[in-house]
Amino acid sequence: MREWSVGIVGGSGYVGGELLRLLLGHPGVSDIQVTSRRHAGRRIGTVHPNLRGRTGLKFRRAEDLQPCDLIFIALPHGESAEATRQLAQLAPLLIDLGGDFRLDDPGTWRHYHGVDHPLPDELCEFVYGLPELHRERIRRASRISSAGCNATATILALHPLYSRGLVDISRTVVEVKAGTSQGGNAPTAGSHHPDRSGALRCYRPVGHRHVAEIKQELGLRPSDPLHFSATAVDMVRGVQAVCHVFLRDPSLTERDIWAIYRQDYGPEPFVRLVNEKRGPHRLPDPRPLAGTNFCDIGFVRDPDSSRLVVIAALDNLGKGAAGQAVQAFNIVSGHSETRALEFTGLYPV
């Protein structure tokens, strides 16, 4: 199997650093180029200290990027679309980790963003990069848009139920708790340590942009309700989505629901079903997933109502970003889907 030459555009951020960590250990990658506006000419390890001594690579300017087999685009939200046309001339395969190409319809983009997409004709060229839903499309793709971290957790938690029409779609409530690395490495007033440490801050009670891709992948219309809130918690990595749904058929038992989730996710290498009856780890927790590409899913059936609480957890920089992008690369390139993603996490940390 041939080795691939790879570029990372925007490699100085947290996602770029995670991509580097994974790709430096990938036997199918022979050459890596990494760009950064601020750090061109500096060694990788001066920005990503965990990679000290691991590589002699230096950041380069974006305009110095040479043709390669694949480019990962790890730019901030809103910048990928501007860069895509130029980067497409340098590599036949693009994997965008931003949010610019996650929606497949220009009208839907306009509905959620209030403006027209800068490249509306190219939205349909990108495959939504969630392997559990779109593995075969990813395998044939030349443009992939990696799913958002909150969206990944929510979609994987709810898709088995929504795809079968088992829940009342008017009553779904999702509360996501997310670590601080989700906000990127650029400091803000809200991320200043004296203000941020110990905080439990609901930063997006309504109107989160990930709702658009969640609705798209669950088969909802933009006008259909999905009640979604996001809260920042005092941890660095991690996303936990707590999803409240109401079953249309109250006679469904826990055994029935487990069978549904096992049918969809039993063969999946990176979805783990958590079915413990007691103890502190009986429900998914993002902490032991740091550095991994796993999404853990569990649920609790409310005995007094038709409510089902489905909980999903993942590392926002792993399965929520860089790990999922490398998983898509493995699928496209013909490598084992788990290649370079075998790390099982640390416990305790």
- Determine the Cα–Cα distance for residues 23 and 17; give it in Å rounded to an integer: 10
- Determine the Cα–Cα distance for residues 27 and 207; give it in Å rounded to an integer: 41
Two structure tokens written together for 224: 């259909």
Query: What Å distances lie between residue 118 and 40, 128, 211, CA to CA?
Result: 28, 18, 20
Residue 16's closest CA among 101, 91, 95, 127? 95
| Sign of the torsion formed by the C-alpha atoms of 156, 162, 167 and 168 | positive
One of 68, 149, 202, 243 is an active-site residue; which one? Answer: 149
- Determine the Cα–Cα distance for residues 319 and 337; give it in Å rounded to an integer: 13
State the CB neighbour count (10 A cutoff) for residue 257: 18
- DSSP codes of every residue in 113-144: HSS--SSGGGGGGSEE--HHHHHHHHHT-SEE
3 state DSSP class of 25: coil
Q: Which helix (H) or strand (E) holds 14?
A: helix 14-24
124 has catalytic annotation: no
Placement of tokens 């690369």 in the chain: 329
Query: What Å distances lie between residue 54 and 22, 28, 58, 80, CA to CA?
Result: 12, 17, 12, 28
| Sign of the torsion formed by the C-alpha atoms of 90, 96, 102 and 106 | negative
Report, as residue numbers or ranges, the catalytic residues: 149
